[in-house]
Amino acid sequence: MQTVKMVVTGPFAAGKTEFIRTISEIDVVSTERKITSDAERIKDATTVAMDFGRITVDEELVLYLFGTPGQKRFDFMWEILSEGMLGFIVIVDSSRPETFREARGILDTFRGYAETPYVIAANKQDHEDAWSPDDLRIALKISKEIKVLPCVANDKDLVKGVLLELLYSILETMDLEGAG
């Protein structure tokens, strides 16, 4: 059986766990614990290590989704997780502009690990304060070749859409490499 993996990353409380939980066929294995830091009190519990979800495509192929820890102090995990990934998704809480700078930093860090295709998921689009994907693109300084996609992490169709767009991006990158 072949296993492939995608990494779901993004700032603290951006919706990574929910995203994986929505699409995974197994209960997402996540390590959550009570928050003690004032800065992180926006969420009652946070992911200590990472989330892990599984999607069985058929008898021969399984896709694993790995969510990265939200907090900076776990960033030692990122490089380990990024090894061998097919692509990655940066989830951004569109309603919290104070996290955009961090999202950009995470994106740059992951791009440094591997030249792997990625997409940006503009999460919490159902929130009244959410920035639109177009505004988010500008705020995060995302080039036009990279997809910034609307997302609501507990909406299965939108989550599927994000994964599909990442897969299309992977094919497009392969085509470009093949042409080059």
Partner 1 sequence: MALKGNLHDFSITQLLNLIHLARKTGTLAIDGKRSAARASFREGKLVFAQTDTLDSRLVGMLVKVGKITPDQGKKIPTNKTDRDLANLLVQAGLLTKTELDQMVRNNVKDVVDRMFALTDGLFRFEPNVLPEDRLWAEPPINLDGIIMEGTRRLKESERLQEEIPNLEVTLRFTDRPDAKLRNVNLSVDEWRVVSYINPKNTIRQIAQANSMSDLQIRKIVYAMLQAGLVEVVQPAALPAPAAVPGGRAAPPKAFASNEEKRSVVNKLISFFNR
Residues contributing to the site for partner 1 (CB under 8 A):
1-5, 25-27, 29, 31-32, 36-37, 48-50, 52, 54-55, 57-58, 61-64, 66, 72-74, 77, 80-81, 83-86, 160, 163-164, 167-168, 170-171, 174, 177-178
Nearer to partner 1, 136 or 163 (CB): 163
Q: How far is the CB of 161 from partner 1 (least distance, A)?
A: 8
> Among 87, 69, 59, which Cα is nearest to 12's?
69
Phi/psi-derived region of residue 134, left when phi > 0, alpha when psi is between -120 and 50, beta in every other case = alpha
What is the DSSP secondary structure assignment for residue 84, as one 8-state letter? T
Cα separation of 160 and 19, whole Å?
10
Identify which of residues 80 and 138 has a Cβ nearer to partner 1 in the complex: 80
Provide, rounded to whole angstroms, the least separation between the CB of residue 27 and partner 1: 5
Give the nearer residue to partner 1 in terms of CB position, either 70 or 130: 70
CA distances from 42 to 52, 59, 155, 167, 173 (A): 23, 41, 22, 32, 37
Minimum gap (Å) between residue 171 Cβ and partner 1: 6
Q: Measured from the CB atom, is 37 or 132 closer to partner 1?
A: 37
At closest approach, how far in Å is the CB of 29 from partner 1?
5
Other CB atoms within 10 A of residue 91 CB: 30
